[in-house]
Amino acid sequence: MRRIIATLSLVFLCSASAYSSGFSIYEASVRANGMLGAFSAYANHVSTIFYNPAGLAGLDGFRFSGGVSIIAPRSSFRNLSPLAPAGQKTVMEEQNFLVPNMYASYQVAEGLTVGLGIYAPFGLGSKWPADWVGRGSSIEANVQTLFANPAIGYKLPDLGIGEIKIGAGLRVAFHGTVKLSRAVQNFTPEGTFAMEGELKEPAYGFNAGILYEPVENVTLGFTYRSEVTVAFEGDAEFNNLPVGFPAGGTQGSAEITLPASYVIALNVEPIGGLTTELDYVWFGWSSYDELTITFDQPIVALGGNSITSVRNFKDSWQLRFGAEYSKIPVEGLTVRAGIGFDKNPIRERYVDPTLPDADRWEYSVGLTYSLTDYLDIDASYIFIRANQRKVTNTYEGGIDGVYTTYANIPGLGISLQF
């Protein structure tokens, strides 16, 4: 008899997180978190290596900053698919993710500073109950990346049109892990597909920025971050899938192009002690149009040795507004707050439970307390509320329903300067 089933579509990856749209993470420094990351023109802190490397040029002496943000996303799903009663609710398992960051800079000469940053600009994590209604789309998804970013900032000589700083850096993805699992419902009994992999080799990109202060107390900033194409490889396991899949599992690999982004920033200090900033952040998510996992052997059930899932992300943007006030009547205390809107890049057809993404409003507060002239304690708190997202026209095999997501992101860090 002829083959009776068309090839399976093991659609996977790779979206997800409640951090920022798509799976980018913009919480790269506790100091900047307080202003909700509206920091690309302010740049008065060593974490400017991430936000705008041009800011390095303004940093003297030796600076160090280290911190951690805890991202605690919470999602729930209410079913609108024919696979379970309408409205049936599933709560995503509670997971908290520790996102570290560390920066150091050293002024080599007047107007010339070098630095190194380590941060996690992309990541996602979602875990649903193994028997939940959307298990055919995703059970667990976890992607982590760590970037090292050596950078240099240089202050241009006075040209008489205001102060200009430029900077650039190399962005090296040096660590990454990926973990995915989902049920395969094409067969009875159901099987699962799981993949666990690591970054195959370091991947490179760059960032560059410019800061321009045409008049005092007004600074314009622009930052560009290039695409970084990361390749993961690891073990693919096919559990309880006796027919059409290799029994002992196989090796699989996948490439993901992490999107380019740019920031246009305006920082104004209207009165002494008050700094306000508005950043427009653009992400070129359309680079993430499909995801292909390639296996090292042909797999009958897939009709080949690779599977491609269409993601079709669209470019997206964020608007971030932050303010900082340093002249409150407590010695050594600076307070911050921010508000932002984050447009999600996922079209309705491709929304899935790996990333219950939606347009979102973000709010932040933060503070810095200077213990000594050399040591500051930074703290921040971000609350993200994603709009309820109802999807009723997902791809073949997708799961229709309503996602409700929010996230709390407390952060704590220190800053040192000598």
Partner 1 sequence: MNYSKKILKRILPLIAVIVMAAGCKDYQDLNLEPVQSGEADFSTYVAVGNSITAGFQSNALYESAQRFSYPNLLARAMRLEDFEQPLISDPGIGDPGRIELVNLQESITTFNTSQGKPINTGIGRPYNNVGVPGIKIDAYLDGAPANPFYPLIVNSGTPTEPLPNIHQALEILQPTLVTFWLGNNDVLGYVTSGGLISFTNPADFQTQYVSSITAIQNLESDPTVVTVNIPSVSSIAFTTTVGPQFQATIANNNQVPGIVVQKTFYEATPTIGAEENRQPAALIAKENLDNPDMALILLTGKDYLPYLGVSAFPQAPTYNQAAVEAILNYWRGYIVNAGLATEEQAAALTQQQIEDMMTQITIGQYQQTFGSADAAVFAANYPGFDFNQPFGLSPQNPFPNQFVLDSNEISIANTVTGIFNSVIATQGDLQFDVNSFFNNIVEQGSYVTPSGLTLTPEIGSLFSLDGIHPSNQAHAVIANKIIEVLNSGTGSNIERIDVSKIPQGIPVASGAVVAN
166 or 407: CB nearest partner 1: 407
Q: Does 3 bind partner 1 (CB under 8 A)?
A: yes
Q: Residue 78: enclosing H or E segment and its boundaries?
A: strand 62-79
Q: Does 399 bind partner 1 (CB under 8 A)?
A: yes
| 307 neighbors 9 (Cβ within 8 angstroms) | yes
Q: Is the peptide bond before 14 cis (omega within 30 degrees of 0)?
A: yes
- Please spell the DSSP secondary structure of 347-404, one letter per residue: -GGG-BTTB----EEEEEEEEEEESSSSEEEEEEEEEEEEPPEEE--PPTT---EEEE
Q: Does 243 bind partner 1 (CB under 8 A)?
A: yes
What's the min distance (Å) between Cβ of 68 and partner 1?
23
Across 207-221, b (16+ Cβ under 10 Å) vs e yields: bbbbbbbeeeeebbb
Range in contact with partner 1 (rule: CB under 8 A) among 79-87, 201-209, 223-231, 410-418 = 79-87
146 or 367: CB nearest partner 1: 367
State which of positions 181-210 bind partner 1 (CB under 8 A). 185-189
What's the min distance (Å) between Cβ of 190 and partner 1?
8
249 or 397: CB nearest partner 1: 397
**Of residues 112, 274, 310, 330, which one binds partner 1 by CB under 8 A?**
274
Binders of partner 1: how many residues, by CB under 8 A?
52
Please choose, from the candidates 353, 409, 351, 357, the residue with its C-alpha nearest in 3D space to the C-alpha of residue 388. 357
Please choose, from the candidates 298, 197, 195, the residue with its C-alpha nearest in 3D space to the C-alpha of residue 245. 298
Q: Does 246 bind partner 1 (CB under 8 A)?
A: yes
- Cα distances (angstroms) measured from residue 150 to each of 115, 119, 365: 6, 11, 29
- HSE, side-chain direction, 13 A CA sphere, residue 316: 23
Range in contact with partner 1 (rule: CB under 8 A) among 48-56, 211-219, 270-278, 308-316 = 270-278
Please choose, from the candidates 178, 137, 199, 158, the residue with its C-alpha nearest in 3D space to the C-alpha of residue 351. 137
Q: Does 363 bind partner 1 (CB under 8 A)?
A: yes
- Cα distances (angstroms) measured from residue 347 to each of 312, 315, 361, 395: 7, 10, 18, 10
Range in contact with partner 1 (rule: CB under 8 A) among 165-173, 269-277, 309-317, 367-375 = 269-277
- Read off φ and ψ for residue 312, nearest 5 degrees: 50, 40
89 or 292: CB nearest partner 1: 89
**Of residues 29, 149, 404, 415, which one binds partner 1 by CB under 8 A?**
404
What's the min distance (Å) between Cβ of 27 and partner 1?
17
Q: Does 129 bind partner 1 (CB under 8 A)?
A: no
76 or 305: CB nearest partner 1: 76
Q: Does 325 bind partner 1 (CB under 8 A)?
A: yes
Token pair in block for residue 199: 């970054």
| 378 neighbors 415 (Cβ within 8 angstroms) | yes
Burial class (CB in 10 A: 0-12, 13-18, 19+), 227: middle
Q: Does 5 bind partner 1 (CB under 8 A)?
A: yes
- Tell me how long the chain is: 418
What's the min distance (Å) between Cβ of 280 and partner 1?
20
What's the min distance (Å) between Cβ of 80 and partner 1?
8
Q: Does 229 bind partner 1 (CB under 8 A)?
A: no
Residues in contact with 188: Cβ distance below 8 Å, sequence separation at least 6, in sequence order: none
- Cα distances (angstroms) measured from residue 46 to each of 144, 213, 287, 326, 353: 23, 19, 30, 18, 36
What's the min distance (Å) between Cβ of 358 and partner 1?
10
Range in contact with partner 1 (rule: CB under 8 A) among 23-31, 59-67, 84-92, 200-208 = 84-92
**Of residues 81, 126, 261, 334, which one binds partner 1 by CB under 8 A?**
81
Q: Does 71 bind partner 1 (CB under 8 A)?
A: no
What's the min distance (Å) between Cβ of 383 and partner 1?
6
Q: Does 242 bind partner 1 (CB under 8 A)?
A: yes
3-state DSSP assignment of residue 301: helix
**Residues of the shown chain interacting with partner 1 in the complex, contacts defined by CB under 8 A:** 1-5, 76, 78, 81-87, 136, 185-189, 240-246, 271-274, 300-301, 323, 325, 327, 337, 339, 361, 363, 383, 385, 388, 394, 396-400, 402, 404, 406
